[in-house]
Amino acid sequence: MTLFERILESRGLVGDAREAFLNPVYERGHDPFLLPDMARAVERLVDARQMQEHITIYGDYDIDGLTATTVLLDAMDSFGYRHVSTYIPNRFVEGYGLTVDAVERIAADGATLIVTVDCGSLSQKEIERAAELGVDVIVTDHHNVAKVQPPAVAVINPKRLLQDYPKRYEHLQLVAPHPKKPLYPFLDLPGVGVAFKLVQALQTRLDGLPYGQEKWLLDLVALGTVCDVVTLIDENRVHVYWGLRVLSKTRRPGLRALMAVAAVEPQKVNARSLGFALGPRMNAAGRLETAKYAQDMLLARDGRVAMEKAQKLDEMNVARRAEQDEILAMAIQQAESMKESRVLVVSHSDWNHGIVGIVAAKLLEKYKKPVFVLQEMGEQAKGSARSYGGFSAADAIRASDDLIIKGGGHKLAAGVSLLTANIAAFRDRVNAYFESLDLPSQQVHLLAREDVAIADFSEVNTALLDDMERMEPFGSGNPEPILKVADVIVMSMRRMGADGQHIKIGVRDNAGGILDLLAFNASADWFVEPGETVSVWFKPTRNEWRGSKTVEGMLVRLERL
């Protein structure tokens, strides 16, 4: 068995599962009508098409929401809807999700139907207000759901099935089919994935978008899926796998321009390009000012206009990084005074709540603790949480219902608003909630774990890297493979970077093979000396420099022996 086959086997990819993983088949996608309320939504939208009603697609300011909005807008144009507009809330004025004010403005503008994307599952009073104004609402979302659904025409949210049939799902996948009660097999679709399933359902009733042509929407689906960090398995993997191929030849001037300013070659675009090059530039607009800049880029039809919009996003991303660095430095100062806390809750009036989510992720990485980072805005504070392991940020927020104004999200990422005067009490509450869980050590969840332990470097070669490319797209649920080698000798150690924060280590295995390992912003205990014996965990990578290609490793864990 080759090393590549051992990697696949370690992930349970054998037999039919191996074939399905390595060769994702688009046509094996799941029946959209198995999603809750899909049939109701389609009937209402078919009526709206017949009557040419005024429809507003209500989106969100992150990439998932923006791509979902554009997917529906493009599809509705193909289906022949003539009066469709979009509404993207401003993070700093309206916050996340539906608001009563927005609903009232949309109704005043003449809309009789609102279709939400990436939001709406908990919008009880907003949807009630829409009904009072004679406006129907169709919710498409993937966030946490209420025990009782809001009074919408339809609430299409895969998570409803997890709530209604918890015993039939494991890790968001259906355990076994049931002949009499078929359920949607996969629940971790992003908002854009749910919107895309609605498009597929509409194709069964409306002309204008023949089967197969919807694949041109997969560039947007891939972008939203990767950037929303849902698991890249099952249908998500299929969408991203084929979406990257669509993106390499996208018809959208905006995405072509964005790839140009981000120095992404279309023929080499991969999931990492989306998560680390295209995504941050699009998100910068909503984090600093308004996501309308990003939406305008996606919708641009003229190449020159598209390039102007993409360059604007690039400039905003530079500004976002500078502001992020300032906030992080201040947040670290606060965190240092809270070392006994199991959950960090830090806040300041000068912090931009559009950026604090990224800072929370950086603090989690540094302190190995769940983190809430808040901006104090006078009497109210608003911010984001990041977590890991067995501690759910969303559940911690729900355990603080009496202290907050609103909040919610996912297990690993959430948002919250509360009175500034309640921050200290909120800090005590989420720490008490952590203690009440009586969790075993959580830091083990942050340690890199190997797919395969190998005796030496003999199979770490270009053939392995070629085979590993077949496992892409990599991301949540399908990380890059990690190998472990024990008892290797450090042959060299070189510091790199302006502050010597990066390192390059040469190690030799017991068979005499040598491999260079790199680590950026290396942990302090990774600064080893020649002659030391260590165990290393690394991701095999390809280094191309001035026409020369070599195999090396990205160091992700090191232990001295």
Domain limits, CATH 2.40.50.460, in the chain: 452-560
Q: Residue 302 has which token pair?
A: 């003229």
pLDDT at 546: 73
pLDDT at 144: 85
- Read off the pLDDT of residues 320-353 as tens digits, 9 standing for 90 and up: 999 999 999 999 999 999 989 999 999 999 999 8
pLDDT at 378: 95
DSSP SS3 for 484? strand
227-to-57, 90, 370, 457 alpha-carbon distances in Å: 21, 19, 21, 34
pLDDT at 171: 86
DSSP SS3 for 4? helix
pLDDT at 521: 85
pLDDT at 543: 87
Q: Does domain 452-560 have CATH number 2.40.50.460?
A: yes
Is the Cα torsion angle 477, 536, 386, 431 positive or negative in sign?
Answer: positive
Residue whose token pair is 């190449």: 303
Residue 231: what are its φ and ψ, rounded to 5°? -70, 130
- CATH no., domain 337-443: 3.10.310.30
Helices (H), 143-214: 159-164, 191-203
Which of 317, 256, 247 shows the shortest CA–CA distance to 282? 317
Residue 191: what are its φ and ψ, rounded to 5°? -55, -40
* CA of residue 364 relative to chain centroid, distance: 17
Residue 421: what are its φ and ψ, rounded to 5°? -65, -15
526-to-275, 447, 453, 485 alpha-carbon distances in Å: 27, 14, 20, 15
439-to-342, 365, 399, 431, 444 alpha-carbon distances in Å: 11, 19, 17, 12, 12
Residue 206: what are its φ and ψ, rounded to 5°? -120, 145
Instruction: Say if CB 274 and CB 259 are below 8 A apart.
Output: no
pLDDT at 101: 97
Listed as ranges, residues in the chain with pLDDT below 70 are none
DSSP SS3 for 387? coil
pLDDT at 418: 96
Instruction: Say if CB 341 and CB 307 are below 8 A apart.
Output: no
- Is the omega angle on the peptide bond into residue 473 within 30 degrees of 0, that is, cis? yes
pLDDT at 95: 81
- Helical (H) or strand (E) element with 156: strand 154-156
Domain limits, CATH 3.90.1640.30, in the chain: 31-215
**CA end-to-end distance (rounded Å), the chain:** 30
Sheet containing 154-156: which strands, arranged edge to edge?
Answer: 84-87, 55-58, 113-117, 136-140, 154-156
pLDDT at 525: 86
Query: Would strands 113-117 and 55-58 be described as parallel, antiparallel, or unpaired?
Result: parallel
pLDDT at 92: 86
Burial 501-522 (b: 16+ CB within 10 A, else e): eebbbbbbbeeebebbbbbeeb
* CA of residue 203 relative to chain centroid, distance: 27
Q: Which CATH number fits domain 31-215: 2.60.40.2130, 3.90.1640.30, 3.90.1150.10, 3.40.50.10540?
A: 3.90.1640.30
Which of 95, 52, 99, 60 shows the shortest CA–CA distance to 76? 52
- Read off the pLDDT of residues 272-322 as tens digits, 9 standing for 90 and up: 999 999 999 999 999 999 999 999 999 999 999 999 999 999 999 999 999
Other CB atoms within a 10 A radius of the CB of residue 87 amount to 19
DSSP SS3 for 149? coil
Q: Residue 231 has which token pair?
A: 């698991």
- Helical (H) or strand (E) element with 16: helix 15-22
Rg for the chain, CA atoms, rounded: 24
Whole-prediction pTM value?
A: 0.92
